[in-house]
Amino acid sequence: MAVTFTDYARHAVRHLSATGRMLPFIPAACLIIVAIVLTGCGDKAHKQAPSVRPVRTISAPPPVALSSLIQTGEIRAHEEVTLGFRLDGRILTRQAEVGDRVIAGQVLATQESETSRNQFSSAQADLNSARAAEQVAALSLRRMQLLMPSGAIARSQLDSAQADWQAARAKRQSSEDALKNAQENVSWTKLTAPADGVITQVSASAGQVVSAGQSVITLASGSLRDAVFDVADPQSVPQQADSLFTISLLSAPSGVAQGHFRDVSPQADPQTRTWRLRITLDNPPPAMALGASVQLTLNASGPRLIALPASALTRSGDKPAVFVVDEKTLTLHLRPVDIGRYSTSEIFLSAGVQPGERVVIAGVSKLREGEKVMPGEDSE
């Protein structure tokens, strides 16, 4: 549009000069010249080179072999039991609180028992009735057996008495079993400790209505303690029964205990993608109480890896990637990488980046493949 307007302006000036009518139109010609100048300035502004984005980079360091890996975990009971009532009902009392030490058989909570006691009374009455009916059937059978040799009764009467006695005996046995069930239902209204231990959690209070099997109290039984860790690579952990580990308190590294491998979860947690590792402690100090934070140092094994800040990580399709700066053209290339390991602040690459290459470590979500950039000084 600017070029076309300039051509028209020049044509108008030549036309006025040829006809001798230049003088009256000098002010108009000045305005035309000013417009041409301004248009040219606008063209120059539009033709300026686009701005280059500055980026923060780091030179990829040489790969190193990671000699150790520190994991943080906590102390838990070797055996934890979740206790609950076997019947639906309302909790009447609860005698246990978090931190209480209990012994086997101690009553921890009670449940309403009126219905269970009524069932017990009904079962007991049924048993008494069944016993009386069995006694009558047994006496009748005895009389029939005495009369049968003399021919005073028919054979069918003896068979009938025999069947009545067997039915009465079966009824008595069934009533005894029903009474046992009723007795158990009454006993289930009391929640007792199955072993000595410490109460670690309380999930229900007096007056609350709970369903059968609902968690009410969690008991840490026994005196054994486990150190529990969530590890990213279970293959880095020796999994032999005689493997020895050194556990130290996070708040006081001088508090140390030895432990042996117990187990590792067979599959990763769906949210954290880590595996649960449990180590049984041998004679832990008193400071390693339940819930205490501890740390474990593992000897890592594997290839040599390149460490980069976690902020450099982005994604190319379904694969992890980083942005690498081309030293000659100063353009970005989205490079897929293989992650050997990672931590909360760093990623460790096994492939995809060569030592000495410049990798962008900030603002990677705003960058695009092939974009021109201005690398800043390498970050240390």
Q: 216-248, pLDDT tens digit by residue? A: 999 998 788 999 999 887 877 888 877 889 899
In this prediction, residues 86-107 reach a mean pLDDT of 91
Task: Please measure the distance between the N-terminal and C-terminal CA atoms of the chain and give it in whole angstroms.
Answer: 52
What is the spatial distance between Cα 184 and Cα 43, in angstroms, rounded to a whole number? 96
Return the bridge partners of 97, or none.
Answer: none
Indicate the pLDDT class of residue 168, thresholds 50, 70 and 90. very high
**pTM for the predicted model, two decimal places:** 0.51
Burial class (CB in 10 A: 0-12, 13-18, 19+), 156: exposed
Local structure of residue 61 (DSSP, 8 states):
P
Percent of the chain with pLDDT over 70: 83
Using an 8 Å Cβ cutoff, are 84 and 210 in contact? yes
10 Å Cβ neighbour count for 40? 12
Higher pLDDT, 23 or 53: 53
Using an 8 Å Cβ cutoff, are 376 and 56 in contact? yes
Q: What is the mean pLDDT of the chain?
A: 83
* Residue 301: predicted pLDDT: 58
Q: Is the pLDDT of residue 11 over 90?
A: no
Q: Using one digit for the tens of pLDDT, what is the confidence trace for 27-57?
A: 554 545 544 544 555 444 444 555 678 888 9
| 230 Rama class: left (phi>0) / alpha (psi -120 to 50) / beta | beta
Q: Is the pLDDT of residue 3 over 90?
A: no
Return the bridge partners of 359, or none.
Answer: 58, 324
Nearest one of 239, 244, 283, 278 to 260, comparing CA atoms:
244
Local structure of residue 234 (DSSP, 8 states):
G
- H helix and E strand count, the chain: 4, 22
- Return the amino acid letter for 149: P
